[in-house]
Every structure is written in C-alpha cells, then in structure tokens.
A and B are shown apart, each in its own frame.
Chain A
Amino acid sequence: MNGFVKSNSSIRKRLTIQLLCGAAILTICLVLIVRSFAQQLAEQSQDNILAASLTSILDSASIQQGEIAVDIPYSAFSMLSNLADDRVFYRIDLNDEFLTGYADLPRPNLAANSNAPVFVTGPYRGFDIRSVAATRKLALGEQPIEVRAIIAQSRNGMQETLSEISRRVILFGSGFFVLSAIIALLAAQSTVGPLTRLAASVSRRGPQDLRPVIARVPEEMAPLVQSLNQFIGRLETSLNRSEDLITEAAHRVRTPLATVRAQAEITLRRVDKDENRQSLREMIRAIDNSSRAAGQLLDHAMVTLRTDHLERHEIDLNGLVRESVARMQAVANLKDITVIFENTAPSPIQGDIILIQNAIQNLLDNAIKYSPPDSRVEVQLERKGTVVTLTFRDQGRGLPSSDAERLTQRFVRGDNVAGTVGSGLGLTIVEEVMRAHGGTLSFENNPDGVGACVSISFLLS
C-alpha cells in the first residue's frame, strides 16, 4: 500500500527550516540595527565634544593691545583626549590667513553669515578624521576680523569601540539564533506530535480492529480524524455486509439443495425401475456438484475476505489437525479408509484458525475423496528447525501426469478425476491461505508411484 502514498518533504523539516530562516533574518536585522544605532551614538558624542572644544577655542579669542590673541585653553584638548590613541589637529585662520596649527588641514566651506559649526569627515595624513569648523567675528578698529577655527580628530578610538560593540552584538545575535533554533525544533516537534501519535495509534491496530479513532488531536486535525473514522465505519459496514451476504447466500443455496437431495435419496429407495433410478442418481450427483461448487465459491470468498485482514493468533497445529482428523474419520469410515495421524509435540504457529482449519479440511477432504475404498491416508506433522510441515499421503490415483502446477488455479482440476465431485477450488483456497500466512504448499506423487503427497509448511512461532 505504501506505493500509493506520495510523500514530499516532511512537515517537521519544512516547519523547522521556515522557523530557522525567520530566526536568521531577525538576528541579522537585529545586529545591523544595533550596530548602526551604536555608530550614530558614537558619532554624535564625538561631534558634541568636537563642537564644545571648538566653542571653547573660539571663546578664548580676544583682542589684547590691538591684536588678536587666541589662547587655546587646555580644557579644549583634554575634552578630546578621553578617546585613546586618537590624534587631534587644529588650525586657526584670521581673515583667511593661516595663523597657527596645521597649515595643511583642509578647510571646510563655511556658509557666509552663519555661525553654525560645519562638520566634515575625510582623510588627512593617513587618518580618517572628523573635523568641525566655525567662525567668530571680532571688531578691531573699523575692520572686523574673522577668526576661523578648525578642530579635527581621528576616528580610531571610535572605530575600536564600534567594532567592540559589533562583536558583542554578533555574540548576542548568535545566542539569540541558537535559542530560537531550539524553540523552532521544539515547536515543530510539538506541532507534528499529534500527527505522529495518530499515525502510530492507527498503524498499531490489528487488522480486525475497526473501532473509531478516539485520540485527542488539535482542532485542525479533527476533520482528518473525522473522515478517517467515517472511512473505518464504511469499511466495517462493507466487511460485515460481505460476511452477512456470504453466510446468507450459503444458507439460501444449501437449504433447498439439502431438501431436494434428501427427497431424491428417499425416493430412490422406493423406486425400482432402472431408468428412474439412474436419473435419480444423476440428480443427486448434480446436486452434490452444484452444492460443492457453491460451497467452495462462498468459502473462497470468505477466505479472500479474511486473508485481506489476516488475524494472527497462536494456534497449536497439532491439536487442530487432531480435531480435523477426528471429524473426518466418520466420512473416511464410509469408504473403509483409515486416517492415520501420529500425535507429535505441540506445534505453535501464528495464524487465523478458521483459515488454517479450512485449508486442512480441504486437503483431508481431497485425500479421502480421491482414495480407493479400503486404503490408508497418512497425516504427518514434522518439525524441522523453525518450520513445521504437515503432509497428507493417500493411496489414490495421484496427481495428473502433466501440468500439476496448474491445480492451484481457479476451477482447474486434474485430467484424471472423472467421476469424483469437485469444484476445482480446493487447492486454490489452500494456496491462498498459505500465501497469507507466509507458508508454502507443495504436492507431488508418492515416490512409490501410488497416490499423492501434499504438504503445507508454516513457520513455528
């Protein structure tokens, strides 16, 4: 049946992958956002310090004795020196003329008439620097003098801080990812859990267990379980109907046949005329033929039904054979046939007792049917290792010389059975029963040339 199930990738796998992808995207976003936020903060604080330092420099510019004096206060640099390893550059111009500091420090373009400081980032002497520039106008005589200060700082310290922050953020992100992965696995597990439990509880059932499934399942699975139960219900109804039909059919067919047969037999006792007797005998034979055929057909239907849902219970093959032999003894006696069965040790096998009983019955029936009067049927049970073999040997006409293998096909009988009632289904039924139980059926003529030898083998349990 597995061949009919098309399964693509598992729900659990898909769910896990989806949840992990989500967690990964979230982690990456988180790392990027935290990093850019940290960078912004760092830049902001550097800018603030630079601006404060610049303001204190410009504030220190004054006119002393008709000259501009710019006395760079100590605090202007001490503010900046907080950041380790960073270089600080400055430049002060008076009316666009270089006064002091680093002459090659680039000057940002300052908007005219604006006192707002201007921030610029750029390379300088191999450093990545952030600089800020602002002007202050001082009145000296009639000509105002413009003092412009530029102060710049390398960004090494900030980069270091930033990369330290990044490291921590990545570490934190990885932890977050691992945690979400664990949660994802658990979530997938618990989502798939009810499905797995349902599947297990259905497949754990025996073939005859057609009770509805009552496992507790999440709401979303309820329709599935409901449909499953409906299917089980329909299957049960249909199986019961088939069994009832077979039983009913057997009853409807056999009862009138029994009536006609009994009446024919009684009439035969009263009739003396040869031709009437002959027709009555033929009638009885026809009844036997049709009842045998109908019976075997119905038995075959029942066997097919039961092998589809094979019940397996422990059976003692030895006891079962003994019982069957005892029951057939009365019939065998009518032909003065002795059925010999030597009791052996119990032979436990696993199977459906009704089916195995039917197989034994068919083989015993055949052996007696095809045996001449005053003969012997030997039934033997042999255990060899894990296999138990049941053999029926008769002294009858044996198997047909050609095509003996075909005897297990439906309605095929040997070419040497004329005059014996049969349906051609006996061995078909036996073979089907054996196949369902994983056993084998084999038949051959006895080595001494008289009669047939039919064996069935089972695995011991």
Chain B
Amino acid sequence: MRFLLIEDNIQLAKAICDHLLSDGHVADHAECLSVADDFLATTSYDMILLDIMLPDGDGRDFLNRYRAGAGKSPVIVLTARSEVSDRVGVLDLGADDYITKPFDFSELDARCRAVLRRQGGAATNRKHFGGVEFDGLAGTLMHNGATTHLRNKELRLLETFFNTPDQIYSKAKLVDRLFSYEEDVSENAIEVYVARVRKHLEGSGIGIVTVRGVGYRLSKI
C-alpha cells in the first residue's frame, strides 16, 4: 500500500515511515501542505495520514479542500489536541478516522485496516505465498478453496510473516507486535498463537517453521 504522511515533526515522521516500510508499505512524507499538494498532483495514495497543525496551514483546511476537490483517498487525522475539543470537525470535514498522539503503531495499523475495510478493501492488500492467499483487511486465509476467518492476534501474526516472508522473527519481536506494552506477557504466550496459525495452515504447503534458538519464519514445506 502507498501512504502519504503529512507531518511537520521530522523525527516522528521518520519513525512512522520506518514502521510503514518495515510492514512492506510505501510511504511518502510531506512536511507541509504545499509539498503534500505536489505529491497528490502526481500520485494516488491508498491512505493519507494528516497532522493538524502544520507550518503552512491548518490540516483541517487541507482536508476540506481535498474533499471539495473530490479527493477520494481515505484520511486518518493525527491529532495532538485534547480529545474533548477536537472530535468536532475532523470527522465532519471528511476524515475517516482520527488518532490521538502519542499512539501505538498497532493502533494505527488497526485504524488503517478498519478504514480500508469500510471502504471495501484494496486489492493490493491480498498477499500470496505458496498456494495461500492472505487478506489482511478481511482477516481471511484461503487455500485449497477453503476460507478461514482469523482472530485479531492470528491476523497480526500472519500479517507480520506475509509482509516479509523468509525473515526470521524472535519470540520477543513477535510479542512486541502482538501485545500492548502495558501487558507483561511471557514470550511463551506466542507459542499459543503460532500453534493456532499452524493449524490454519495445515495442508496448504506453507507453514511457520521454528528456527532453533532464533525464532520463527514463514516457509514453504
């Protein structure tokens, strides 16, 4: 998927872009509205992440202008304002959702997924590996003509593997992706989800293999 991130804080933007790239997405970063306009003139995006307070204007004005100009891409507003005062406006102005800073990347992903799902889904979100099709938006796994509906943690586990097949993930890294930082989860908790996913993949020709002493990866078997 192709993201446009409009955010004037360079470090934050870099971190968000890093996150998106590591999930296998493409991200363009505009640090102000005029650069964003340039990007939008030439490229179409699957998702726009929009900050409100920008050096050359208010993100809400941009949103208004974008929707008035029949811009169709979904927009999620990144707001640093008080929740109490800011909910009014952005949704009415045509934003699909908003997220309050600071946020969890997993929450950002979840909100993107929810918005894209509401929009009917993007075909680019279906990923293939071996004979298996994984739809991160619908939360489904298809092989041999059968469709399995995934629970959220199973979905995120599979998303991680499908985005970067053949990469090895340690249990600790997988814990980071699946659980919030509030929860104190033992690394063994991952085994439960790996076992469930393995069961879904039985007979598909691919599977999650254990790399002894290192972690797990998705592989053809």
Within 97-143 of B, Cβ neighbours of A (below 8 Å) are at: 97, 100-107, 110-111, 113-114
Contact B84 A255 (CB under 8 A): no
* Alpha-carbon separation in the docked complex, A33 to B12 (Å): 98
B56 within 8 A of A: no
Stretch in contact with the other chain, from A165-173, A188-196, A280-288: A280-288
B22 within 8 A of A: yes
Contact B110 A259 (CB under 8 A): no
Shortest CB distance A107–B (Å): 110
Contact A354 B181 (CB under 8 A): no
B43 within 8 A of A: no
* Alpha-carbon separation in the docked complex, A258 to B103 (Å): 7
- Residues of chain B within 8 A (CB-CB) of A394 are none
* Alpha-carbon separation in the docked complex, A295 to B106 (Å): 20
Shortest CB distance A397–B (Å): 13
Chain B, interface size category, equals 35 or more
Contact A268 B176 (CB under 8 A): yes
Contact B82 A246 (CB under 8 A): yes
Shortest CB distance B5–A (Å): 11
Contact A306 B84 (CB under 8 A): yes
Stretch in contact with the other chain, from A81-89, A220-228, A229-237, A331-339: A331-339
Shortest CB distance B109–A (Å): 9
Contact B184 A284 (CB under 8 A): no
Q: Is the interface of A mostly helix, strand, loop or mixed?
A: helix
B25 within 8 A of A: no
- Residues of chain B within 8 A (CB-CB) of A353 are 88
Cβ 8 A contact of A262, one of B19, B181, B183:
B19
A378 within 8 A of B: no
Cβ 8 A contact of B15, one of A246, A265, A373:
A265
* Alpha-carbon separation in the docked complex, A274 to B152 (Å): 27
Contact A302 B19 (CB under 8 A): no
- Residues of chain A within 8 A (CB-CB) of B147 are none
* Alpha-carbon separation in the docked complex, A185 to B56 (Å): 65
Shortest CB distance B204–A (Å): 23
Once A272-B170, A295-B100 are accepted as A-B contacts, the answer to whether A263 and B84 lie under 8 Å apart by CB is no
A243 within 8 A of B: yes
A357 within 8 A of B: yes
A361 within 8 A of B: yes
Contact A419 B182 (CB under 8 A): yes
Cβ 8 A contact of B84, one of A251, A260, A274, A302:
A302
B149 within 8 A of A: no
- Residues of chain A within 8 A (CB-CB) of B173 are 269
- Residues of chain B within 8 A (CB-CB) of A373 are 153
Some 21 contacts from A to B, beta carbons below 8 A apart, are A246-B85, A254-B80, A257-B101, A258-B78, A259-B15, A262-B12, A262-B15, A268-B176, A285-B181, A285-B182, A295-B82, A330-B110, A330-B111, A334-B106, A334-B180, A335-B180, A336-B153, A353-B88, A354-B84, A355-B84, A419-B183
- B residues engaging A (CB < 8 A)? 9, 11-12, 15-16, 18-19, 22, 53, 78, 80-85, 87-88, 97, 100-107, 110-111, 113-114, 151-153, 170, 172-173, 176, 180-184
